[in-house]
Chains A and B, each alone.
Chain A
Amino acid sequence: MTVRVGIVLFPGSNRDIDAVNGLTVAGAEPVILWHEDADLAGVAGILLPGGFAYGDYLRAGVIARFSPVMRAVADFAGRGGPVLGICNGFQVLAEAHLVPGALLRNRGLRFVCKQVSLLPEHLDTPFTRELDSRRPLRMPVAHGEGCYYADEDTLDALERDGGVLWRYANPDGTVAGPDDPGNPNGSLRGIAGVRNAVGNVAGLMPHPETATEAILGSDDGLGIIRSLVVSAAEWAQTGRISGTRETATAGGAA
């Protein structure tokens, strides 16, 4: 049976159809979930798409955090289900404290829309398991507030626990520090995406869902979307996902 993965639609989401396409290419059945509806329609995985939820008023992602669907998403995450936030979806997860850190305004103050190079850090996580190597992945970014920030202790702990899943790469393949050419927004330590402590919730600023077919310019993102789909299928069957850990602080603490 095809695994059903939900795409949360907020007022202002605009990458939902890209997510539908990416999930379809990855072999899943996409299910649109409305922001005012706390019913997740029995999906086995959740994708929070890009856009400008609630106009990004106040701070990107913060109003969305208090929508009925996000209470259901937090509950789903607490039960160990896989959740991936892309771009605005990552901002929503960060504001909801479902992943650590915050996304600040881009260091260069500009909205950045371009192809970047992304280094996967680990290949044994629910969101990278279908990648075949740690080679750099090409995919687009399109955001104004994508500068990843956390205090030094949090960054150290993230790195120690394998919580950094993706970093921006320079053209020569090295990690792109805040001021390097490969870093589009000034993210600390080149961090493009992180996961929570349990490992079942992750977010990243670049757009793997729009890089799932060669005709779109790159299919390097397909492995990430396929990883989400495979993890959703595993969770539906077994109630847990390999590559996650059971911790006392499951779900809430990121």
Chain B
Amino acid sequence: MSDISPAFRFAVNVTPKPGILDPQGKAVERSLPHLGISGVTGVRVGRRVELTVSAADEAAARVVVDHLAGELLSNPLMEQYRVESLGEAQAPAAAGVGG
């Protein structure tokens, strides 16, 4: 066994489901005219979580991310999530730096 196991970095983007009231998005949208900006609609505010997973390969890492994204990072009743691969990470211990 190698000492260095592969690690993969992901971003999980969590946003309110379509049709769910998003008062934060509304507030942002309403503030835009004060900036002199018009013509911007459909503002939705969500959350982005980045993380590194040690696993045999990227497919196995993605299974872990999907599980935690659905169970913890998002509430399926009101939110949806999209997993984005950020590629192979240097090493798990260093992955947090500068992330």
Taking Cβ atoms with an 8 Å cutoff, the residues of A that contact B are 58-59, 62, 66, 95, 101-102, 104-109, 147, 149-151, 186
Beta-carbon contact of B23 and A109 below 8 Å: yes
Q: Is the CB of B23 within 8 A of A149?
A: no
Chain A residues whose C-beta falls within 8 Å of the C-beta of B94 in the assembled complex: none
Q: Is the CB of B21 within 8 A of A59?
A: no
Question: Is there contact, CB below 8 Å, between B77 and A147?
Answer: no
Are the C-beta atoms of B72 and A102 separated by less than 8 Å? no
Contact A102 B24 (CB under 8 A): no
Residues of B close to A107: CB separation below 8 A: 21, 23
Q: Total A-B residue pairs with C-beta atoms closer than 8 Å?
A: 32
Interface pair A186/B21, CB less than 8 Å apart: yes
Partner of B72, one of A66, A105, A147: A66
Tell me the interface secondary structure of chain A in the complex. loop
**Nearest A-chain residue to B71, judged by Cβ:** A66
Knowing A62-B72, A104-B20, A149-B20, the reply to whether A109 touches B27 (Cβ < 8 A) is yes
B residues with CB within 8 A of A: 20-21, 23-24, 27, 72-73, 75, 77-78
Distance in angstroms between the alpha carbons of A151 and B21 in the assembled complex? 12
User: Can you name the residue of chain A whose Cβ is closest to the Cβ of B78?
Assistant: A102
Whether the Cβ atoms of B24 and A104 lie closer than 8 Å is no
Chain B: minimal CB distance from A186 (Å): 7
* Contact in complex: A108, B72 (CB < 8 Å): no
Least Cβ–Cβ distance between A70 and chain B, in angstroms: 13
A95 proximity list for chain B (CB < 8 A): 75
Give the complex CA separation of A109 and B24 in angstroms. Answer: 7
A186 CA / B78 CA spacing, docked (Å) = 15
A102 CB contacts on chain B under 8 angstroms: 75, 77-78
Give the one of A101, A102, A108 with max B CB within 10 A. A102
Bound complex: CA of A109 vs CA of B51, how far in Å? Answer: 29
**What would 16 A/B residue contacts be, using CB atoms closer than 8 Å?**
A58-B72, A58-B73, A62-B75, A95-B75, A101-B77, A102-B77, A102-B78, A104-B78, A106-B23, A107-B21, A109-B23, A147-B21, A149-B20, A149-B21, A151-B77, A186-B23
Whether A108 and B23, one on each chain, are in contact in the complex, defined by CB atoms closer than 8 angstroms, is: yes
Q: Which residue of B lies closest to A108 (CB)?
A: B23
Report the minimal beta-carbon distance from A32 to chain B, rounded to whole angstroms: 27
Contacts of B73 in A (CB 8 A): 58
